[in-house]
């Protein structure tokens, strides 16, 4: 069975192996890309250190509805349809949607917080520290600590996971990344609560 050079290159980039190994895996799988990828995973040929650089464009959009009062949509991406179709990945997405319903985060990560919000909170916390009579040279450090705490409460990846408060949602995603052997990214979410005005 002849395999295409495009599939060989794609398998190489996803697993970090050489072209020869990628070609051999595809030939052994009779050209079935997902089968070849699974076989390589079983042999442990995926390079974990390259995971963060790889593009995650497959995945699923998960939903959660709590008593018809709170609804959540969340997009979680991975690298391949193969992983996106696994029960493990579906469970992760479900847990994330349930967490979003319960914890009501505003952003995926602190990088997403608008600069205007960050500056507004910085000014607010600075005024508060001054009003409490904190020493001038300590104010910057105090404000940084307050900003970190403020955004940790509002950013999904920094929040303690509702099913296991000893780990953050970010750690949960990293654990899944290691377990599934792919770069996993929480892309975006939307939470709607009945009667809530935005």
Per-residue pLDDT at 113: 83
- Which residue is listed with tokens 């990214």? 185
Per-residue pLDDT at 51: 52
User: 74, 185 in Cβ contact below 8 A?
Assistant: no
- Which residue is listed with tokens 């105090």? 142
Give the span between the Cα atoms of 71 and 64, in whole angstroms: 6
pTM above 0.75, yes or no: no
Single out the residue of 12, 11, 51, 72 nearest to residue 173, CA to CA.
51
- Under 8 Å CB-to-CB from 41, ≥6 apart: which residues? 181
Per-residue pLDDT at 84: 93
Per-residue pLDDT at 162: 95
Per-residue pLDDT at 15: 67
Per-residue pLDDT at 198: 60
- Tallying the residues shown for the chain, one arrives at 198
Give the span between the Cα atoms of 100 and 74, in whole angstroms: 9
Give the span between the Cα atoms of 55 and 78, in whole angstroms: 8
> 10-residue block means of pLDDT along the chain (198 residues)?
80 72 85 82 55 73 94 95 93 97 93 87 88 85 89 92 94 88 92 83
């Amino acid at each position: 069975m002849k395999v295409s050079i495009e599939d060989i290159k794609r398998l190489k980039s996803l697993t970090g192996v050489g072209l020869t190994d990628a070609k051999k895996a595809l030939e052994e799988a009779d050209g079935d890309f997902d089968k070849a990828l699974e076989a390589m995973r079983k042999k442990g040929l995926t390079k974990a250190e390259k995971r963060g650089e790889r593009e995650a464009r497959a995945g699923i959009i998960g939903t959660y509805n709590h008593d018809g009062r709170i609804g959540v949509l969340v997009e979680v991406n991975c690298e391949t349809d193969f992983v996106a179709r696994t029960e493990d990945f579906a469970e992760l997405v479900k847990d994330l949607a349930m967490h979003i319903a319960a914890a009501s985060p505003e952003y995926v990560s602190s990088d997403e917080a608008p600069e205007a919000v960050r500056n507004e909170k910085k000014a607010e916390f600075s005024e508060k520290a001054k009003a409490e009579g904190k020493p001038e040279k300590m104010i910057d450090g105090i404000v940084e600590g307050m900003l970190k705490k403020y955004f940790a409460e509002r950013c999904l990846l920094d929040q303690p996971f509702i099913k296991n408060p000893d780990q953050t949602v970010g750690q949960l995603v990293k654990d899944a990344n290691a377990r599934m052997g792919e770069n996993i990214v929480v892309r975006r979410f939307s939470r709607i609560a009945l009667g809530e005005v935005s």
